Chain A
Amino acid sequence: NAGVMQNPRHLVRRRGQEARLRCSPMKGHSHVYWYRQLPEEGLKFMVYLQKENIIDESGMPKERFSAEFPKEGPSILRIQQVVRGDSAAYFCASSPRAASLYGYTFGSGTRLTVV
Chain B
Amino acid sequence: AQSVTQLGSHVSVSEGALVLLRCNYSSSVPPYLFWYVQYPNQGLQLLLKYTTGATLVKGINGFEAEFKKSETSFHLTKPSAHMSDAAEYFCAVTNINAGGTSYGKLTFGQGTILTVHP
Within 8 A of B (CB), among A14-70: 31, 33, 35, 41-45, 48, 55-56
State the CA gap A113–B96 with chains docked (Å): 36
Contact B103 A55 (CB under 8 A): yes
- Tell me whether B51 is interfacial, beta carbon within 8 Å: yes
Contact B43 A109 (CB under 8 A): yes
Among A42, A98, A101, A103, which residue has the most Cβ atoms of chain B within 10 A? A42
- Tell me whether A99 is interfacial, beta carbon within 8 Å: yes
Q: How many residues of B contact A (CB 8 A)?
A: 27
Contacts of A100 in B (CB 8 A): 32, 51, 94-96, 102-104
Contact B104 A99 (CB under 8 A): yes
Q: How many residues of A contact B (CB 8 A)?
A: 27
Contact B42 A41 (CB under 8 A): no
State the CA gap A104–B44 with chains docked (Å): 9
Of A6, A35, A98, the contact of B103 (CB 8 Å cutoff): A98
- Tell me whether B90 is interfacial, beta carbon within 8 Å: yes
- Tell me whether A75 is interfacial, beta carbon within 8 Å: no
